[in-house]
Amino acid sequence: MPFKPAKWPRKLRSQEWFGGDSKDAIYHRGWMQNQGFPQDLFDGRPVIGICNTWSELTPCNAHLRDLAERVKNGVWEAGGFPVEFPVFSPAESSLRPTAMMFRNLCAMDVEEALRGKCIDGIVLMVGCDKTTPALLMGAASVDLPAIVVSGGPMLNGYFRGETVGSGTHLWRFSEAVRAGEMTAAEFREAEASMSRSPGSCNTMGTASTMASMAEALGMALSGNAAIPAVDSRRRMMAQLTGRRIVQMVKDDLKPSDILTRPAFENAIRTNGAIGGSTNAVIHLLAIAGRVGLDLGLEDWDRLGRDVPTIVNLMPSGKYLMEEFFYAGGLPVVLKRLGEAELLHKDALTVSGGPIWDEVKDVQNWNEDVILPTEKALTVSGGVAVLKGNLAPNGAVLKPSAASEHLMVHRGRAVVFEDIDDYKARIEDEDLDIDETCVMVLKNCGPRGYPGMAEVGNMGLPPKVLRKGITDMVRISDARMSGTAYGTVVLHTSPEAALGGPLAVVRDGDMISLDVPNRRIELQITDEELTTRLAEWQPSVERPSGGWAQLYHDRVMGAETGADLDFLVGCRGNDVAREAH
Ligand code: FES
């Protein structure tokens, strides 16, 4: 059913703070006026919060203060009153133990800030990986009109004449050093070439994937995902977003109107078409949980199976986000999905209209970047969801980043009990391992690491790399950076720290991977598995106090999005009472 805008004018939520002549109203207005805001700004116009993840310690979002000014311009132009505020900013590149441990903390910060503040609508300023899902999760739990504007990707990197992609080349160069093909000095020289402008990772890593997810979900203006951070059109996008949120408030167009099952199905298929990050699985499941939608791993497998990967970007392909933007960006991909009847064309977006209206007339300006279907990188893109006695609740693998010859494989397990064990032994020339083995890493799941670190694409042993081998089957309960690649089974659930079957794999066990049939099996008898599980003892210590303890105690499994159990659902935006 088409969206029916609310009647305007009407009393807004912000008037609970600013309306009338009570002592409380004068208190709220008066204190705001210490910033020089004239009195007539409190007259009932939409108050727009600009929720900013700017931080100099989140380099990918360090330009968002500037971009926020452009958003404000748009809000002013449309007759709104913009107010910017910071929220916790989880930085992928520097936050320890892992930014993922803080996604839910950021979402909680956002949720409580939105609900507790005197605002009517919200612009979500995001960029680095976790900031996009965190702000969407928080906004979904509050359900005020909300719109995303991304910071945009960095410009292409170049090193010695070659294009260099964020993250992807970090892994490649690192392996080249370990294989003796590149010196440490050359690696250091390449360092600055990878990040030569403001913005998020320029590959189809998690940041670009999540920007694409926000657009495919309908939560950002069309074209938002790919515009480079430093392109003038990024600033225009911010200004247009500011204009648009004011009208969304007037129309009362909320996340619950947009984040429907068709929107999530569009996003899942889009992820297949762009060769997006496996992290999108966890984040979309968590966002769906916030709006009370029953989305599951099986939806990812079912919906992504028939979607060819047509975006030729690293890590699966050749190009970077800059070329994707010049080719037409995500609207071209959405149009292609629509033409293939793989898009719910009538899904509502922040525009107030159906998604198809936004994309039906766009053109593909470079068919080597956005490929014709017959030249797709992978016929069956998306995310393969594996099940079996090693992953009763599921595990995922990204076919477009994997090696065809390893998609059906049986090999001897070489087990690392945790990431420290892996780091201590992987360089050992006496390690009993070759390219036919299956590398197994335990205790890196949500509770185990804690925070489910991006270590699932563990580097290969040097003695294997020196043979020119670049891929082996790897299995863990960890995640993998969206910029990474390989035949890597991730998010194995239940995780080892909870006593899932992964916890009882031993060196020398045989493991079989069968991606076409979606199976992952530990080849021991049921009796043996039962005995081992009964004997298992937890090895991960409970953190003592603080966020880490709360996270450890309440985080849910990867197959549900690794949210905290008490944060699932929408708690609305009722204004709390106060007394002065
Ligand atoms: Fe921030 Fe990649 S590290 S987007």
Q: Tell me, in angstroms, the distance from the centre of ligand 1 to residue 277's CA.
A: 12
Q: For 379-394, write each residue's pLDDT tens digit.
A: 988 899 999 999 999 9
pLDDT confidence band for 348 (50 / 70 / 90): very high
Closest ligand 1 atom to the C-alpha of 127? Answer: 4
Q: Is 469 among the domain residues?
A: yes
pLDDT mean over 79-101: 97
The answer to the question of residue 283 being in a domain is yes
Residues 531-575: tens digit of each pLDDT: 999 999 999 999 999 999 999 999 999 999 999 999 999 999 999
Distances (CA, A) of 391 to 224, 379, 382, 395, 411: 37, 25, 19, 6, 17
Q: Are residues 10 and 71 in the same domain?
A: no
User: What's the 59 CA to ligand 1 centre distance in angstroms?
Assistant: 8
Indicate whether 236 and 145 sit together in one domain. Answer: yes
Are 3 and 40 in the same domain?
A: yes
What gap in Å lies between CA 186 and CA 194, rounded to an integer? 13
Domains identified in the chain, total number: 4
Asked whether residue 83 carries a pLDDT value surpassing 80, the answer given is: yes
* 219 and 291, same domain (yes or no): yes
* 556 C-alpha to ligand 1 centroid (Å): 24
Report the CATH number at residue 407. Answer: 3.50.30.80
Mean pLDDT of 401-415: 96
295 and 441, same domain (yes or no): no
Pair 227, 316 in one domain: yes
Higher pLDDT, 481 or 150: 150
Q: Whose CA is nearest to atom 1 of ligand 1?
A: 128
Both 446 and 482 in a single domain? yes
Read off the CATH number of the domain in which 346 is found. Answer: 3.40.50.2300
Can you read off the two tokens belonging to residue 443? 């205790």
Q: Which helix (H) or strand (E) holds 331?
A: helix 330-339
**Average pLDDT of the chain to the nearest whole number:** 96
Query: Which residue range(s) make up the domain with 51?
Result: 46-155+197-375
User: Is 577 inside any structural domain?
Assistant: no
pLDDT at 191 over 90: no
Q: Which atom of ligand 1 is nearest to the CA of 207?
A: 4
If asked whether residues 371 and 398 sit together in one domain, one would say: no
243 shares its domain with 263 = yes
Which residues have CB under 6 Å of ligand 1? 60, 92-93, 128-129, 166, 200-201, 205, 207
Domain assignment present for 60: yes
* CA–CA distance, 496 with 506 (Å, rounded to integer): 13
Tell me, what's the pLDDT at 374? 96
Rounded mean pLDDT, 467-485: 94
pLDDT tens digits, 241-261? 999 999 999 999 999 999 999
Among 375, 409, 442, the domain-final residue is: 375
Asked if residue 580 belongs to a domain, the reply is: no
The dihedral region occupied by 42, where left means phi > 0, alpha psi between -120 and 50, and beta the remainder, is alpha
- Closest C-alpha among 255, 333, 254, 248 to residue 288: 255
Containing 125, the helix (H) or strand (E) segment is: strand 121-126
Instruction: Kindly state whether residues 149 and 289 are assigned to the same domain.
Output: yes
Please check whether residue 258 lies inside any domain of the structure.
yes
CA 129 / ligand 1 centre spacing (Å): 6
- The verdict on residue 549 lying in a domain is no
Q: Check whether 196 has a pLDDT greater than 70.
A: yes
Which of 63, 64, 93 maximizes ligand 1 atoms within 8 Å of its Cβ, making it the mutation to test the pocket?
A: 93
pLDDT of residue 579: 67
Going from the Cα of 202 to the center of ligand 1, the distance in angstroms, rounded, reads 9
Question: Is residue 551 included in any domain, yes or no?
Answer: no
Are residues 412 and 331 part of one domain?
A: no
Is the pLDDT assigned to residue 46 strictly greater than 70? Answer: yes
Question: 241 and 370 in one domain?
Answer: yes
Binned at pLDDT 50, 70 and 90, residue 504 comes out as: very high
